[in-house]
Amino acid sequence: MTPGYHEMKDMPFTYNADDGLLYSSPCRGVWNIVHYGLLVPEGHQIYVCPTSCLRGVVLTTAEMGAMDHLSTITVGEDNILNGDMEEELLHGTEKILNTLKKRPRMVMIFTSCIHHFLAVNYQRVYKLLRKEYPDIDFIDCYMDPIMRRKIPADPSLRRQILRVLKKAPKDPKRCSFVGNCFPMNEYCDIYQHLVSNGIAISDLTTMKNYDEFRLMETSSVNFTFHRKADWAGKDLEIRLQQRWVSLHNGYDYDRIDADMERASESMGIPAPREEEIRRQRELTDRALDHCREALAGTPVSLDYTAVENPLELALFLIERGFHVESVLIDSIVESKEVFEALQKRAPHLKVYSSLDPSMRQVLRSHEGKIVAIGQKSAYFNDTDYFVNLTENAGMYGYRGIRRLMALVEEAAAKKKPMRDLVQHKGWHAGPSFEDLCEMERRREAGNV
């Protein structure tokens, strides 16, 4: 990539790219609220917005082949002039529910920016709907980017979905993983530790039915792995008195151990023994050495869509002898300690913002091979050698680090069709276009 970057030494800790005009790159792997809402088994989403806002959510759903789980109520000029947003919301929802072939157990109703500005009393409507359909859980959800600085839609949804959970007797042997998009299991230390100690785990990403979802209210502890899940964890702690343990999805060994100890204590189980910790550390060190040797000095670029703490990962890799050349971030989410350590350790590290308008015309290329961790770093470096993942992809702790190293090695050895992969909306959320077109061809062939 040609200029458009700042050197790490010049970055202010308060940096935030959401300041000015914003550019939208073709990389679409990060999940949006539609993807997350579709995790709810037996759920149905209703979006109430003007056409311009509806288009994105409807086609997200269509691309997942999940149109039977989403309906819309278009806000028109007539609604604005007549001031009948509440009536439209009520009657529209009734019509949708009375038309659907299968009764949903949960209905998520998303209002939009325009509802805030017209002071729509949607809570009144939900009250009426709850009375009319007592067998359905209605959730007020929000697709209102105008409020993004105070109440971003994504963390809000991860909290709102869980608002249906009621206070229930706690099961000391049950916990929940809250607010993650991908199953936290094979590559997650906490999962392995809890399961081996007989703890049952509720995780929305693996649920098959709504009853399983409601079982989350019996959990004693909720674990979160992402900042976007913090509101959900805190809300459940206040409302249901379920203990909230926020786990730092980072790379500092001591911090991983401390988190494991906290998690174990919260569930009343023993923490991993010292020899186990030692074994995990050794295995992880070996994986890092192996990966570094496999890369043989090949530069690495990484971005914030791939991992929760991109600067921390950059620091970790640099300390382990990797050649990290650039990082793409839109704000700084790490602690000041990590930030300053990276500034000291890698003052010339290139830092790009993917939102800045100048990135539209940056030369997307890299002289020589580069391995990217994340879609945006792959796109802007124009490299097919990349790890295709978003939001940590179910990785946590030592196992997570080892998995990441394996993926980096694999990426360095084998090209991927970057152009096609990064444009797919919602990583691992639905079929590819090729699949959808093939399906359409087959359906058509059946008619001919």
Partner 1 sequence: MSDWHVHVFTSTYAADVSGVCSAMYELGGMTVLHDPSGCNSTYTTHDEPRWYDSDSQMFVSGLDELTAVYGDDNVVVDNVTRAAKALNPRFITLCGASIPHIIAFDFKGVARLIEEKTGLPVLPVPTDGLRLYTSGVGLAQRAFLRRFGVHSAEKRKGAVNLLGVTPIDFSRQEIVDAMKEALTARGYTVNACFSMGDSFEKLTKASEAEVNVVVSSAGFLPAKYLQAKYHMPYVVGTPIGKKMGDALSDAISKAMGTGENVSAVSPAEEDSADLLIIGEEVLSKSLARAIALETGERCRVLFPDPDEGIDEDRLLSMIGKARTVIADPLYRPAVETQGATLIPLPHEGYSGRIYRALIPVFCGDGFDISAFLLGGCS
Question: Positive or negative CA dihedral for 26, 30, 31, 33?
Answer: negative
Q: Kindly report the three-state secondary structure assignment for every residue of 190-224.
A: HHHHHHHCCCEEEEHHHCCCHHHHHHHHHEEEEEE
Residue from 79, 176, 185, 202 that binds partner 1 (CB under 8 A)?
A: 79
Site for partner 1 contains 448 (CB under 8 A): yes
Site for partner 1 contains 360 (CB under 8 A): yes
Tell me how crowded residue 80 is: count the other CB atoms within 10 A of its CB.
Answer: 14
Shorter beta-carbon distance to partner 1: residue 18 or 211 = 18
Site for partner 1 contains 357 (CB under 8 A): yes
Query: Closest distance between partner 1 and the C-beta of residue 384, in Å?
Result: 14
Residue-wise burial string across 89-100, b where 16 or more C-beta atoms lie within 10 A, e elsewhere: bbebbeebbeee
Site for partner 1 contains 73 (CB under 8 A): yes
Site for partner 1 contains 157 (CB under 8 A): no
CA Rg, the chain, in Å? 23
- Pairwise CA distance, residues 255 & 400, whole Å: 14
Query: Closest distance between partner 1 and the C-beta of residue 28, in Å?
Result: 6
Contact 175, 202 (CB under 8 A): yes
20-28, 133-141, 340-348, 407-415 -> range binding partner 1 (CB under 8 A): 20-28
Residue from 358, 369, 413, 415 that binds partner 1 (CB under 8 A)?
A: 358
Helix or strand run (H / E) with residue 373:
strand 371-373
Judged on CB neighbours under 10 Å (0-12, 13-18, 19+), 187 is buried
Residue from 121, 196, 361, 365 that binds partner 1 (CB under 8 A)?
A: 361
Site for partner 1 contains 413 (CB under 8 A): no
Shorter beta-carbon distance to partner 1: residue 92 or 394 = 92
Tokens of 281: 């550390």
Residue from 66, 74, 200, 318 that binds partner 1 (CB under 8 A)?
A: 74
Query: Closest distance between partner 1 and the C-beta of residue 230, in Å?
Result: 21
Query: Closest distance between partner 1 and the C-beta of residue 41, in Å?
Result: 19
Shorter beta-carbon distance to partner 1: residue 88 or 308 = 88
- Nearest C-alpha neighbor of 303 from the set 371, 370, 374, 369: 374
Site for partner 1 contains 72 (CB under 8 A): yes
Site for partner 1 contains 149 (CB under 8 A): yes
- Nearest C-alpha neighbor of 262 from the set 175, 185, 186: 175
Query: Closest distance between partner 1 and the C-beta of residue 60, in Å?
Result: 9
Backbone angles phi, psi at 350, to 5 degrees: -80, 130
Residue from 92, 104, 233, 250 that binds partner 1 (CB under 8 A)?
A: 92
Question: Positive or negative CA dihedral for 186, 187, 191, 196?
Answer: positive
Shorter beta-carbon distance to partner 1: residue 21 or 296 = 21
- Nearest C-alpha neighbor of 44 from the set 130, 129, 103, 128: 103
Shorter beta-carbon distance to partner 1: residue 55 or 103 = 55
Shorter beta-carbon distance to partner 1: residue 46 or 194 = 46
Shorter beta-carbon distance to partner 1: residue 54 or 349 = 54
- Nearest C-alpha neighbor of 161 from the set 146, 184, 190, 181: 181
- Pairwise CA distance, residues 182 & 205, whole Å: 6
Site for partner 1 contains 123 (CB under 8 A): no
Using CB under 8 A, count the residues that bind partner 1: 70
Residue 241 gets the label, from left (phi > 0), alpha (psi -120 to 50) or beta, of left
Q: Which residues bind partner 1 (CB under 8 A)?
A: 18-24, 26, 28, 50-56, 58-59, 62-63, 67-68, 71-77, 79-80, 88, 91-92, 95-96, 99-100, 112-114, 116-118, 143-150, 357-358, 360-361, 419, 423, 425, 433-434, 436-437, 440-441, 443-445, 447-448
